[in-house]
Amino acid sequence: MEPELLERFARGDLEAFEALFRQFQGLVFSWIVRIVRDRGVAEDLTVEAFWRIHKAHARFDPRRGFEPWARRIATNAALDHLRTAKPEATLDPERVPAPPAVSREISPAVCSAFQQLPAKLQVVATLALIEELPYAEIADALGISVPAVKMREFRAVRLLREKLKKMGIES
Amino acid sequence: MNDHDHKLRQLLKDALPPEQAPDLARDLWPQMLRRFDHQPSRVSAWDWAVAAFLAAGCLLVPELLPVLLYHL
């Protein structure tokens, strides 16, 4: 990427922001949709993330990459959404899968238990357990260390097991 | 990963399958521009301080009101 473009963005140049928006909107969207699992919400959050990026332009260091910075801001926007959204509102009905027959009955319960997790554990569980992304990538996006990611994953798994056990589901 | 972890992971994946190639279907720039258009006008702390000072002045010394109106 052109360093000059990043420097112009850091100075608040709207044309540079538009160029970066067009270049990275797909990447930011695909990251957010993995976390919130709803394309409509992810589109709104992509705009919200870029709004935050635009407002924070003066804090951007052009010597560092734009992508990791944008991804971290996008993660925070998705986290804020998960904190405020009602659990049932975070599922896109069109995306609810047709699970295998064995798990068809328990999938709603698993979804429910998953969505009751605290937002910061839910994000790590989504990215680590479902999307199977590398710990380092998750840590970078959340701005925490790899051991902290592993700890959150451990806590998420423990909490999920407790919730599923209460629902009579052996995991 | 032990068997328990594998089972839990499988339960999760059955209930919430991984996103497959989540590509953006449309350009979001027009939506971004609308967001710019709806940016609320921001009143600075200094403006609020001046307004509070003038309001307090008019309450304490009502004779100042015509002078203030004259200068507006």
Q: Identify all chain A residues contacting B35, using CB atoms and an 8 Å cutoff.
A: 47, 51
Exposed (0-12), middle (13-18) or buried (19+): which is B3, by Cβ within 10 Å? Answer: exposed
A54, B52, B68 from B65: Cα distances, Å: 42, 14, 5
Is the CB of residue A47 less than 8 Å away from at least one CB of chain B? Answer: yes
Domain boundary among A91, A124, A157: A91
Quote the number of domains for chain A.
Answer: 2
A27, A74, A127, A166, B31 from A30: Cα distances, Å: 5, 10, 12, 34, 17
Domain boundary among A71, A91, A111: A91
Is the CB of residue B7 less than 8 Å away from at least one CB of chain A? Answer: yes
Residue of A43, A44, A123, A130 best to disrupt the B interface, most CBs of B under 10 A: A130
A37 lies in the same domain as A77: yes
A15 lies in the same domain as A44: yes
Residue A8 neighbours by CB under 8 Å, 6+ apart: A15, A16
A5, A9, A72, B16 from A13: Cα distances, Å: 9, 5, 21, 41
Q: Give the count of beta carbons closer than 10 Å to the beta carbon of residue A117.
A: 21
Q: Do A164 and B15 touch (CB under 8 A)?
A: no
A8 lies in the same domain as A54: yes
A81 lies in the same domain as A136: no
Alpha-carbon distance of A119 to A107, in angstroms, equals: 20
Q: Identify all chain A residues contacting B11, using CB atoms and an 8 Å cutoff.
A: 103, 106, 110, 164, 169, 171
- CATH number, domain of A159, equals 1.10.10.10
Query: Interface pTM (ipTM) of the complex?
Result: 0.77
Full pLDDT tens readout for chain A, 171 residues: 688 999 999 999 999 999 999 999 999 999 999 999 999 999 999 999 999 999 999 999 988 889 999 999 999 999 999 998 866 555 554 555 555 554 667 788 888 899 899 999 999 999 999 999 999 999 999 999 999 999 999 999 999 999 998 888 776
A111 lies in the same domain as A162: yes
Q: pLDDT per residue over A107-146, tens digit each?
A: 888 888 998 999 999 999 999 999 999 999 999 999 999 9
- CATH number, domain of A2, equals 1.10.1740.10
Whether the CB-CB separation of A87 and A115 falls below 8 Å is answered with yes
Q: pLDDT per residue over B24-57, tens digit each?
A: 889 999 999 999 888 766 667 788 888 888 888 8
Only one residue has tokens 């989540």, namely B22
Q: Provide the residue range defining the domain that includes A158.
A: 97-171
